[in-house]
Structure 1
């Protein structure tokens, strides 16, 4: 199997076309049926897959076109989860949002809609590898359990250990479910690790009776347990960014606190980590990596300005001081549309940045 992650790769989400946005709004207003919305989704996903092939990506996604949120749609489809609406200012803007909390025994739904969604993507991808993205398990642990006011008011578990075991089993079954659906490239998107080094979130975690430093170890333990039963020919990668909502972010801080534990998870085939600005800190914490690949998220998805190829090559060489060049890859730092609204970039900007990733990586690693 070709080494995954690829030298030129992508995180997953893509800007929603106007036709899809319009159809989603029409469905929300009750003017079209679910079937009509699905038809538009299918048509736009077919187009976006062809576009990804055209620019030379080695793995294609459905752009997350069927999702409202990069994470919540998957989590909402699990057993024992309740979704609620609220208003947030967390990203520096006031906006409507949704959250989840654990309201019953957690479990994987064998009829989870994402399984059929993946089968459609795989079929349309043809002879190109289809990549599936889902939120990592610690998203549920942090947001729907540890920091959830609703959960603490009505706890569904007597023992935290029982919840953690159910969380692990849920994800083991999810991984197997995607594998059985034909998935061979799965990515766990898990921004929750940022809460373990961001000072404001560390304070919130402590106020809820947890130690953020102890959670660094526990997040790693949970992730390793989740991956313990993954099929040998299934590549699984990890993606982290500090939040991505309409070009805003959530967490501040560097990788120093989490790098050693995170990069010791050898069941991952690679890590997608953002390094698009000074908030990311230096590459030095990456020295803890084992034999996995490190995908450098050097091309930002938050602003339209196109990075220079020369600067990207320079930064790749800087990273190579800590991680061997043969273990490095290149991608955008995040998706372009982690939510339905998308970042403040145009579709032309998006494709220019993805082409830049492909072209630069081919020059840096000409033999791949």
Structure 2
């Protein structure tokens, strides 16, 4: 991966708000309606081309394809993994904890956050009908295999075409980690470790295809310890969380075997929701686990006010030689556009503790982790990426002067 050798480079976490034609197609699929697949795929390829062109126009150094084709940053792999069967979802323990602490807030938040920034061009009645369809969980009914080759190849081709003629430093593509906290392994696997390694073997194929195509791959989903919950165990001990997180990291590294470390980045945040975040585990308690992941770059939330102070963790924790830190210096959770001076100040804080060449400026999380999860208005999304570039330029002037 490229480092910030003569200026602070810029990137983001990956997902961008999908265009209306793509949203129309995804809603139709959720509702079980007929979809003209050729027209839908055309809207996806055009959407990828548009967001890549916009990133080039703004001046982002290391872009993504916006995850335009994926209905969700993580749930998309249900379609790419054989051996899973959809089942009705269960309420997540993380949300249950927040609901206990902030019952009134969470009740209102859950009723509105998915529709708040939905494109007004969409039929409101169809939007509400699609949003009412619960996201599926899944259970394992057969050994896990990777069956997403066609979808993955289409993503890679769309991205390559969109990048042609553009002057980027390099490019990355997000991919889900080999961990599914919504899946019941049932009787197919005798242990969680066996199940995780089976997922790792399957997802290895996706990671390798992405890097073989010339892109950096970003593993995208936090560790169990980040939100202090485990499947079936809403009140785990710190020891339970560490064991589960370390087991996941072992599976991640198994999935990354044979892939050069300098073609890998890992994203860690505490969930994309605009919620109180009072149940978040401090970075200091999990950073040693994160640094065991075989990635060159670590993309870690840093603009969220619950975690903004944690740049100081790096005063005591040494970033290993050759590694890169990609801190979030712009938030995806608020429609307030950060001032470039604030962005520069955040960048300079991180540079002061890990070295300017080891910092790439990023965002906390994706702007739209799923078709139904736009976190800000599209105009604000682009304004935030513009201020990211402006802030990085200000910081560069000072750091290299």
Query: TM-score normalised to the size of structure 1?
Result: 0.84
For residues 25-55 of structure 1, give each alpha carbon's deviation from its aligned partner in whole angstroms, at most 9, with x where no partner exists: 3554635412221122222222222111111
Match of 1:272 among 296, 299, 322: 299
- Of residues 297-306 and 154-163 in structure 1, the stretch that sits farther from structure 2 once superposed is 154-163
Match of 1:67 among 45, 48, 70: 70
1:169 maps onto 2:201 in alignment: yes
Superposed counterparts of 1:12-23, under 5 Å: 12-23=14-25
Query: TM-score normalised to the size of structure 2?
Result: 0.78
Number of residue pairs aligned between Structure 1 and Structure 2: 352
Aligned-pair CA distance for 1:155: 2.3
Q: In the alignment, what sits opposite 1:40?
A: 43
1:77, 1:112 within 8 Å by CA — same for their partners in 2? no
Superposed counterparts of 1:306-317, under 5 Å: 306-317=337-348
Gaps of 5+ in 2: 99-105, 112-131
1:220 maps onto 2:249 in alignment: yes
Superposed counterparts of 1:243-322, under 5 Å: 243-245=271-273, 247-248=274-275, 252-265=280-293, 267-280=294-307, 282-286=310-314, 287-291=317-321, 292-322=323-353
Aligned-pair CA distance for 1:211: 1.9
Aligned-pair CA distance for 1:304: 0.6
C-alpha spacing 1:258/1:203, structure 2 compared with 1 (3 Å): farther
2:225, 2:241 within 8 Å by CA — same for their partners in 1? yes
C-alpha spacing 1:160/1:71, structure 2 compared with 1 (3 Å): closer
1:275, 1:297 within 8 Å by CA — same for their partners in 2? yes
Q: Distance in 2 between matches of 1:65 and 1:110?
A: 16
Q: Distance in 1 between matches of 2:32 and 2:158?
A: 27
Q: Distance in 2 between matches of 1:9 and 1:110?
A: 27
1:124 maps onto 2:162 in alignment: yes
Aligned-pair CA distance for 1:299: 0.7
3-state secondary structure, aligned to 1:103:
strand
Superposed counterparts of 1:59-208, under 5 Å: 59-86=62-89, 88=91, 90=95, 92=106, 93=110, 96-109=134-147, 111-127=149-165, 128=168, 129-137=170-178, 139-140=179-180, 142-144=181-183, 148=184, 151=185, 154-180=186-212, 182-191=213-222, 193=223, 195-201=224-230, 204=233
2:4, 2:357 within 8 Å by CA — same for their partners in 1? no
Q: Distance in 2 between matches of 1:342 and 1:231?
A: 33
2:87, 2:138 within 8 Å by CA — same for their partners in 1? yes
Q: Distance in 2 between matches of 1:106 and 1:364?
A: 47
Aligned-pair CA distance for 1:110: 6.0
Q: In the alignment, what sits opposite 2:3?
A: 3
C-alpha spacing 1:201/1:87, structure 2 compared with 1 (3 Å): closer
Q: In the alignment, what sits opposite 2:128?
A: none
RMSD: 3.0
Gaps of 5+ in 1: none
